[in-house]
A and B are shown apart, each in its own frame.
Chain A
């Protein structure tokens, strides 16, 4: 299995770095990740994309933590740092709970907009669009500080360039233990993790391309009215 940065988080990192660039480099951007050693690579990627500093909460048990524990650790770190904005992904690809961003906001007492697809900053005032169903969007304005959860398509995340990858090697990564961030007890536990039973009654076709083509055309003729 290959591990990489959560897709939704790439949009979060990109948006923060764009804001930094737009404001002439003045904002200081911290990237934080909780997980085993391998998330170090993800932090390095974010630094190569343009973040200033990294924080790695080294937690080999991170995959068994519930969203409340993850959010509590993030909030404990952010509490006294005076961040103007906290960007998160709207969800993770593996869990998809969509809880961590709004939970961090609640713990810190900050306003929060989820599923952000457009972002503009002007002097501490943020104008946003969040996405609803069917392509409908809702506009909002709020004053910093705030927590925003980023949706697919918010921007086009950059690929780190080689010079920036080299530069990133000199950037500081702070290591923390979960205990230093007051890891609370879990509110939910995972009892089982497994592949789903195959429910589909569909046909699975394998083989060489030429015979696959013939079988598919025969099936389309037999089963649909679109090929005669």
Chain B
């Protein structure tokens, strides 16, 4: 079995997640082949055969051109699987490739199952086993589901090029606003999730953070609703944190949140749902209404 692994390059650097594709290929017993739109320097020590398209010509993100490049790579190599990370690059590009080939795509795969794949469903509360029925398949992998594994063979770079126009005009990257809080170095973080119910209740979480001498964190919906500033957001599109103590109040435990805090030393979760997926990473899950439990904990700590 042969797998075409679609690597990612940003700002001239290979993204670390690219090596997770190789962890998957090893588990799937597939012969790996790396595709990347990048630079020779970036893939110089890749340790594997690379089909390289020039990022200075094709752009680091240009889905219409990248799709054609990948189709050209598939034409040359006839891989059985085309594998992406389930990242902003991968979830955008994979369906375009799958549609062009008329083949099945399995999204955000967390494991390999008999004849198919394990996927999450219903905000990570359920699991689904999906079996593609087409010969070729497109797959995207959940970040962190497969161990990163750098290939140790010899690097062989083969150039790939197509003439592609694009209907999308790329206007450039925009960095996130400067953070007024650096959660990355905080020892204690107490985070508010949508379970707090309304903006006024955020102060209950802030009070606990203060009593513990920690910083306030938040899940994305709390930020999107304007209850807490974006600089406090934890997760894939916020900050990645690893405090000594992380307290998750009313946070369900979606993968995008977990990705930002699962390396915390000790995780305390407060949730009224005993089956909330946050329980998978929590050292302690307190099953309670946070509106009652959190103020009581704060009061006791204050004494």
| A complexed with B | yes
Check B133 for interface membership: any CB of A closer than 8 A: yes
A67 contacts across to B, CB distance below 8 A: 95, 105, 107
Q: Are B230 and A135 in contact (CB under 8 A)?
A: yes
Name the one of B92, B100, B102, B134 contacting A115, with C-beta atoms under 8 angstroms.
B92
Q: Are A199 and B280 in contact (CB under 8 A)?
A: yes
| Chain B, residue nearest A142 (CB) | B168
Check A107 for interface membership: any CB of B closer than 8 A: yes
Q: Are A200 and B282 in contact (CB under 8 A)?
A: yes
Check A225 for interface membership: any CB of B closer than 8 A: yes
Stretch at the interface among B116-124, B151-159, B198-206: B116-124
Give the A interface residue count (CB, 8 A): 75
Q: Are A138 and B116 in contact (CB under 8 A)?
A: no
Q: Are A204 and B129 in contact (CB under 8 A)?
A: no
Stretch at the interface among A21-29, A31-39, A76-84, A188-196: A188-196
| Chain B, residue nearest A91 (CB) | B91
**Nearest-Cβ distance from residue A218 to partner chain B, whole angstroms:** 11
**Nearest-Cβ distance from residue B229 to partner chain A, whole angstroms:** 12
Check A96 for interface membership: any CB of B closer than 8 A: yes
B57 contacts across to A, CB distance below 8 A: none
Q: Are A141 and B244 in contact (CB under 8 A)?
A: no
Q: Which of A185-228 contact B (CB under 8 A)?
A: 186-196, 198-200, 202-206, 209-210, 212-214, 216-217, 219-220, 223-227
A192 to B236, CA, bound (A): 29
Q: Are B88 and A132 in contact (CB under 8 A)?
A: yes
Residue of B168, B169, B221, B293 most packed against chain A (CB within 10 A): B168
Stretch at the interface among B21-29, B43-51, B172-180: B172-180
A192 to B199, CA, bound (A): 40
Q: Are B245 and A216 in contact (CB under 8 A)?
A: no
Q: Which of A138-192 contact B (CB under 8 A)?
A: 138-143, 146, 152-153, 156, 186-192
Check B281 for interface membership: any CB of A closer than 8 A: yes
| Chain A, residue nearest B299 (CB) | A213
Check B56 for interface membership: any CB of A closer than 8 A: no
A213 to B187, CA, bound (A): 21
Q: Are B237 and A131 in contact (CB under 8 A)?
A: yes
Name the one of A68, A188, A203, A210 contacting B131, with C-beta atoms under 8 angstroms.
A188
A216 contacts across to B, CB distance below 8 A: 268, 284, 286, 297
A190 contacts across to B, CB distance below 8 A: 128-131
A90 to B274, CA, bound (A): 29
B265 contacts across to A, CB distance below 8 A: 224
Residues in chain B within 8 A of chain A (CB atoms)? 10, 61, 63-64, 86-89, 91-92, 94-96, 98-100, 102-108, 113, 115-116, 119-123, 125-134, 167-177, 187-188, 212-213, 220-221, 223-226, 230, 233, 236-238, 240, 244-245, 265-268, 274-275, 279-288, 292-293, 296-297, 300-301
List 15 extra interface pairs beyond A95-B121, A217-B300, CB under 8 A: A94-B123, A95-B107, A98-B95, A99-B107, A114-B88, A139-B170, A139-B172, A153-B220, A156-B225, A188-B130, A190-B129, A191-B131, A202-B284, A213-B297, A220-B268
11 contacts between A and B (CB under 8 A): A68-B105, A111-B167, A134-B236, A140-B171, A141-B171, A156-B224, A187-B133, A188-B134, A193-B129, A202-B283, A227-B301
- Those 7 A-B pairs whose CB atoms lie nearest each other, nearest first: A135-B176, A139-B171, A106-B99, A187-B104, A153-B224, A102-B95, A192-B129
Residues in chain A within 8 A of chain B (CB atoms)? 66-68, 91, 93-99, 101-103, 105-107, 111-115, 127, 129-143, 146, 152-153, 156, 186-196, 198-200, 202-206, 209-210, 212-214, 216-217, 219-220, 223-227
